[in-house]
């Protein structure tokens, strides 16, 4: 395992997270729009043998203490804490409910709700990706490490699982989850209390290849999401980025956020921490989830610069600037007292 990780590290050596990286707002506003995700970049780590094993990480950040809590779907599932979100220590006496794909929501002071997927007893499976039917359940906690299972399921079919819940400032809820019960992809449900859910028709971005939603409501009320692709048995899973004005209708960037040859990157968790967009995800060498470890990174939003219009004879800004027009070189040059683009002869 150590050798395999070192090989993959060499493949992805250009994707390195530097400790103390600048806040995500440095090059773009903290607003999720088609423009800001178009120029988004991810600087991420390659996990080491010391990184936690597992997929489907969920990270909760306690702003009062500055503690990061990591919940992983592993065998068995585990809980970790960290001061920086990069170096983790296992909580040996943690108690997780019997399920997977955690999503933690704060309900009030010392009042937390953990949503997760679990098998519905004595139910017929509805999707190919699960050998038994999976429903949405929840547990409660006062300390983020000891969880008490509550009666459920509260939604009897979440397909392949990987649910993620957002509690909005108006105390209503949004649920995103994978399924192929009606149509493969990421589906949405809404709730007024986080317990009784109404499923919405259709799927996010009308894209059947998207799975593993990691949504986040931004400070300005827009919504950002990082998801992964299915891989479809044809290659490794890749990370994608989306934006939404309302959390329901989503715009998908046409290019990958992260793709690594021979490595599946999947099941992301996205948080805004001290003005910085932080991302955690499974990193599975050779596309083998059994060997997946948790990687982390910093996501930076930023608009793509407008294309330079360099038609000869039109105005330009700085003398000596070079560009091309219809495949031929042009240069910004002062002509008759005016800066214009001129063909290079």
Least confident range from 167-176, 209-218, 304-313: namely 304-313
Q: In 3D, which of 218, 189, 213, 211 has the Cα closest to residue 201?
A: 189
Question: What is the structure's pLDDT at 320?
Answer: 86
pLDDT at 301 over 90: yes
Rounded distance, CA 294 to CA 268, Å?
A: 9
Question: What is the structure's pLDDT at 10?
Answer: 37
Strand order across the beta sheet in which 293-300 lies: 41-44, 293-300, 276-285, 263-273
Question: What is the structure's pLDDT at 266?
Answer: 95
Question: What is the structure's pLDDT at 92?
Answer: 93
Residue 275 or 131, more confident: 275
Rounded distance, CA 142 to CA 213, Å?
A: 26
CATH ID of 2-300, from 1.10.3720.10, 3.40.50.850, 2.130.10.10, 2.115.10.20: 2.115.10.20
Question: What is the structure's pLDDT at 234?
Answer: 73
pLDDT at 289 over 80: yes
Question: What is the structure's pLDDT at 9?
Answer: 41
Residue 315 or 297, more confident: 297
Question: What is the structure's pLDDT at 133?
Answer: 80
Q: Compute the average pLDDT of residues 271-278.
A: 95
The β-bridge partners of 68 are 61, 82
Q: How many percent of the chain have pLDDT more than 70?
A: 87
Half-sphere exposure of 75 (CA within 13 A, CB side): 4
Question: What is the structure's pLDDT at 322?
Answer: 84
Q: What is the DSSP string of 180-218?
A: -SSSSEEEEEEESSSSS-EEPSS-GGG-TTEEEEEEEE-
77-99 pLDDT, tens digit per residue, is: 999 999 999 999 999 999 999 99
pLDDT at 20 over 50: no
Mean pLDDT of the chain: 87
148-201 pLDDT, tens digit per residue, is: 999 999 998 887 778 999 999 999 999 999 876 667 889 999 999 999 999 999
Q: Are 199 and 182 in contact (CB under 8 A)?
A: no
Residue ranges per structural domain of the chain: 2-300, 308-345
Rounded distance, CA 86 to CA 295, Å?
A: 8
224-271 pLDDT, tens digit per residue, is: 999 999 876 678 999 999 999 999 999 999 999 999 999 999 999 999
Q: Is the dihedral of CA 25, 31, 36, 42 positive or negative?
A: positive
56-66 pLDDT, tens digit per residue, is: 999 999 999 99
Bond preceding residue 153 cis, omega within 30 of 0: yes
Question: What is the structure's pLDDT at 304?
Answer: 60
115-143 pLDDT, tens digit per residue, is: 999 988 877 766 655 567 889 999 999 99
Rounded distance, CA 69 to CA 60, Å?
A: 5
């Amino acid at each position: 395992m150590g050798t395999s990780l070192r090989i993959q590290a060499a493949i992805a050596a250009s994707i390195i997270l530097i400790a103390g990286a600048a806040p995500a707002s440095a090059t773009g506003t903290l607003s999720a729009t088609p423009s800001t995700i178009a120029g988004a970049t991810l600087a991420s780590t390659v996990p080491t043998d010391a990184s936690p094993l597992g997929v489907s990480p969920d990270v909760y950040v306690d702003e009062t203490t500055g503690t990061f809590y990591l919940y992983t779907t592993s065998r068995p599932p585990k809980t970790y804490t960290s001061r920086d979100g990069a170096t983790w220590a296992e909580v040996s006496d943690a108690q997780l409910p019997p399920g997977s794909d955690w999503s933690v929501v704060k309900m009030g002071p010392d009042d937390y709700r953990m949503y997760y997927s679990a098998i519905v007893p004595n139910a017929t499976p509805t999707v190919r990706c699960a050998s038994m039917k999976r429903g949405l359940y929840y547990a409660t906690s006062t300390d983020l490490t000891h969880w008490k299972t509550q009666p459920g399921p509260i939604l009897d079919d979440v397909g392949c699982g990987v649910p993620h819940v957002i509690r909005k400032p108006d105390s209503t809820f949004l649920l995103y989850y994978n399924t192929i019960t009606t149509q493969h992809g990421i589906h949405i449900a809404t709730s007024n209390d986080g317990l009784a859910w109404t499923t919405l028709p259709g799927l996010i971005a009308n894209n059947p290849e998207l799975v593993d939603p990691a949504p986040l409501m931004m400070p300005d009320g827009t919504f950002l999401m990082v998801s992964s692709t299915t891989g479809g048995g044809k290659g490794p899973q890749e990370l994608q980025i989306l934006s939404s004005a309302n959390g329901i209708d989503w715009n998908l960037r046409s290019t990958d956020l992260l793709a690594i040859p021979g490595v599946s990157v999947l099941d992301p968790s996205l948080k805004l921490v001290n003005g910085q967009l932080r991302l955690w995800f499974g990193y599975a060498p050779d596309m083998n989830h059994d060997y997946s470890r948790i990687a982390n990174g910093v996501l930076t939003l930023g608009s793509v610069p407008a294309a330079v219009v360099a038609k000869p004879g039109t105005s330009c800004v700085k003398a000596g600037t070079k560009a091309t027009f219809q495949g031929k070189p042009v240069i910004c040059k002062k002509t008759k007292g005016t800066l214009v683009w001129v063909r290079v002869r």
